[in-house]
């Protein structure tokens, strides 16, 4: 382990919710919850104002609504968040060639590799400047942790939240870790934590006291050795700039179980197309098509088919996914569907199949879909998504506060304006249209629209 705190961990503060507050003046300083809004939705991020009421990420949305009934509940705008993330990651890559993104809002940076820092003083200066640059460029805040290892840098950034900077000085790690919960250590999730608790081990100090042999007995050789080393603050993991992508997948959980077999087929096709768009966006192709089905009783089935060569052809992926669906019993209803591609490559092999038969299946499903009883009005309403951007011919840019029973409510404001006025329209008002997100900071650049 290195002798200076030159590994940096950045964690943006309540990223999705903070981005929404920065984008919407009327929500600044107020409780904001971002996530799936259906009965089975979960919280992706809650603003610090919402956390006061006990709302947190991964909580069922229904529970969040009970705890904070007056919060603003918004559907994520991932294209918007990704554009901000790319700007932040660009700032990190100016510091070092070794940047390891963990998600849109979190990354490790090896400051030594880029020559940006070599001791505690220089690391502190880099961390402070990074936070200032992020605020100036995006209007958002991030918390920075600096330490001699990845584990400790992440712990430091957690201590720095919100909007702070914490340095763990080499030599102080053991004293800092000792009284902390075992859940602080990487690799200790709920199951391992409960296993250790039943053995009377609650803190990191108690892991050390138990000894390596006892950890191996409790958790197995690899996990026991690794956890004991972490408890002693030994973490030699390097910052890795590129992580190999093993698969690309998309999935949807439905508010109401799907019983109609034709609708299930249509959803599988739609997911296959989304998966291929993501695959192509990464410049990849794949050989193995995977279908995931979670049924009404929460049982989950996974089926896969390996092609003769890699493809990024949406028709091929759709057909393979539909063939896999034929072997799945969906009686009783389906609550989740997913389509993925693995066995990735950076090239494609065309003409894998004579696709006429498969295309016939696709067209047949589309024709039968005309008989699926979906009210046209609900289809129109679905495009007015809570929190997403719209533009009105007369009133300008705004965002959807809500919609239902043929009406849509819009608040007209922009990131640089005062809190705006609310107006209500018919869902088919010809003057109202879906719009692209506006940049948070002037000069930041336009964000691509992702519906």
Which residues have a catalytic role annotated? 106
Distance, C-alpha 251 to centroid of its chain? 13
Tokens found for residue 387: 């929190």
3-state secondary structure 25-86: HHHCCCCEEEECCCCCCEEEEECHHHHCCCCCCCCEHHHHHHHCCCCEEECCCHHHHHHHHH
Contact between residue 337 and residue 292 where contact means Cβ atoms under 8 Å apart: yes
Query: What's the Rg (C-alpha) of the chain?
Result: 25
Q: How many CB atoms lie within 10 A of CB 291?
A: 24
Q: Given its phi and psi angles, is residue 115 left (phi above 0), alpha (psi -120 to 50 degrees) or beta? A: left
From residue 2, alpha-carbon distances to 159, 173, 209, 233, 240 in Å are 21, 12, 25, 12, 16
Contact between residue 317 and residue 289 where contact means Cβ atoms under 8 Å apart: yes
Kindly compute the dihedral angle of the four CA atoms of residues 90, 96, 98, 102, in this order, to the nearest 10 degrees: -40
Q: How many CB atoms lie within 10 A of CB 333?
A: 15
């Amino acid at each position: 382990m290195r002798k200076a705190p030159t590994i940096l961990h950045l964690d943006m503060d309540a990223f999705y919710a903070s981005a929404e507050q920065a984008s919407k003046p009327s929500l600044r300083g107020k409780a904001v919850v971002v996530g799936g809004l259906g009965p089975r939705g979960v919280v992706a991020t809650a603003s610090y104002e919402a956390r006061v009421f006990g709302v947190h990420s991964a909580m069922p949305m229904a529970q969040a609504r009970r705890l904070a009934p007056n919060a603003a509940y918004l559907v994520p705008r991932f294209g918007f968040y990704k554009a901000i993330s790319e700007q932040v990651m660009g700032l990190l890559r100016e510091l070092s060639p070794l940047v390891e993104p963990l998600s849109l809002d979190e990354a490790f940076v090896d400051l030594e590799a880029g020559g940006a820092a070599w001791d505690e003083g220089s690391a502190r200066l880099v961390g402070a400047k990074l936070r200032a640059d992020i605020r100036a460029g995006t209007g958002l805040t991030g918390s920075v942790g600096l330490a001699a290892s990845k584990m400790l840098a992440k712990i430091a950034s957690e201590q720095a939240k919100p909007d702070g900077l914490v340095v763990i000085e080499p030599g102080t790690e053991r004293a800092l870790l000792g009284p902390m919960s075992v859940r602080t250590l990487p690799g200790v999730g709920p199951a391992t934590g409960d296993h250790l608790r039943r053995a009377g081990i609650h803190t990191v100090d108690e892991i050390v006291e138990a000894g390596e042999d006892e950890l191996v007995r409790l958790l197995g050789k690899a996990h026991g050795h690794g956890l004991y080393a972490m408890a002693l603050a030994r973490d030699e993991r390097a910052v890795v700039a590129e992580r190999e992508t093993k698969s690309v997948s998309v999935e949807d959980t439905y508010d109401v179980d799907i019983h109609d077999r034709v609708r299930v087929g249509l959803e599988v096709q739609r997911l296959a197309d989304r998966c291929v768009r993501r695959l192509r966006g990464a410049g990849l192709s794949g050989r193995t098509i995977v279908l995931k089905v979670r049924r009404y009783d929460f049982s989950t089935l996974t089926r896969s088919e390996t092609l003769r060569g890699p493809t990024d052809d949406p028709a091929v992926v759709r057909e393979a996914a539909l063939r896999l669906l034929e072997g799945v019993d969906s009686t009783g209803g389906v609550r989740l569907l997913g389509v993925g591609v693995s066995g990735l490559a950076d090239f494609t092999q065309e003409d894998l199949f004579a696709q006429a038969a498969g295309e016939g299946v696709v067209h047949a499903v589309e024709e039968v879909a005309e008989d699926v009883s979906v009210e046209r009005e609900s289809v129109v309403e679905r495009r007015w998504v809570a929190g997403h951007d719209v533009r009105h011919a007369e009133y300008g840019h705004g965002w959807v506060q809500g919609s239902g029973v043929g009406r849509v409510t819009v608040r007209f404001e922009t990131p640089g304006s005062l809190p705006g006025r609310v107006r209500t329209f018919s869902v088919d008002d010809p003057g109202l249209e879906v719009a692209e997100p506006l940049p948070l900071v002037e000069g930041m650049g336009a964000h691509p629209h992702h519906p």
